[in-house]
Amino acid sequence: MIDESQLRAKQPVSAVLAGPYGHPFHPILVTVPIGAWVASLIFDVASHLVHAPGFLARGSAWLIAIGLLGALAAALVGFLDLFAIPTGTRAFRTGLTHMALNVLVTAAYAVNFAWRHAAGPETGSVGVGMVALSAMSLGVLGVSGFLGGKLAYRYGVRVADESTQADGYAPTRPS
């Protein structure tokens, strides 16, 4: 039996901003920073394996910037989803931890981007410290992603209730 607080966590605060019932925007938007930051680390590592690494270093910096913009968009709608979760619950505490880790990761990538910008034009391989910061940031992002999965798949935040889901398992009529 679903109680009122669970139903509230499934409904968007604003369907226009956060996505309609059963179709939240946050999981769609998080693919941008995750993909960009994973690709930036691949470019960072590859910059140590080629003869003229400047294009990979520049590409990595661009990917970090794209990831930062994507993270801001994902954070805005994720924050709206957090408002739907009743305070004082395990789901809310998990949501706060997920948000805090994402803020930490985004700040680390902002520092990484500023560090690269301050280092001047990228002509050589990406510095080992910058690569290490990216790798550690992705590790923390993985933990945060685990918590985001827990919010959706264990606690059902912004996931349609079982009676709505049952429609997808009803037998179809043969054509």
Q: How far apart are CA 8 and CA 86, in angstroms?
A: 8
Asked if the structure places residue 4 within a domain, the reply is no
Asked if the structure places residue 2 within a domain, the reply is no
Q: How far apart are CA 154 and CA 172, in angstroms?
A: 28
Q: How far apart are CA 124 and CA 122, in angstroms?
A: 6
Asked if the structure places residue 80 within a domain, the reply is yes
142-175: per-residue pLDDT in tens?
999 999 999 999 998 888 777 777 778 888 887 6
CA nearest 53: which of 122, 112, 114, 119? 122
Asked if the structure places residue 174 within a domain, the reply is no
Q: How far apart are CA 165 and CA 38, in angstroms?
A: 33
CB atoms within 10 A of CB 87: 12
Residue 12 or 147, more confident = 147
Q: For residue 130, give its domain range.
A: 10-156
The four Cα atoms 145, 147, 148, 153 give a dihedral, to 10 degrees, of 120
Asked if the structure places residue 96 within a domain, the reply is yes
Asked if the structure places residue 171 within a domain, the reply is no
pLDDT at residue number 11: 66
CA nearest 76: which of 139, 161, 22, 12? 12
Asked if the structure places residue 73 within a domain, the reply is yes
What's the full length of the chain, in residues? 175
For helices 31-46 and 54-83, angle between their N-to-C axes, nearest 10 degrees: 160
Residue 121 or 156, more confident = 156
Q: How far apart are CA 39 and CA 21, in angstroms?
A: 32
Least confident interval from 22-31, 109-118, 131-140, 155-164:
155-164
Q: Is the pLDDT of residue 45 over 80?
A: yes
pLDDT at residue number 164: 73
CA nearest 12: which of 21, 2, 3, 4? 21
Domain count along the chain: 1
Q: Is the pLDDT of residue 97 over 80?
A: yes
Asked if the structure places residue 164 within a domain, the reply is no
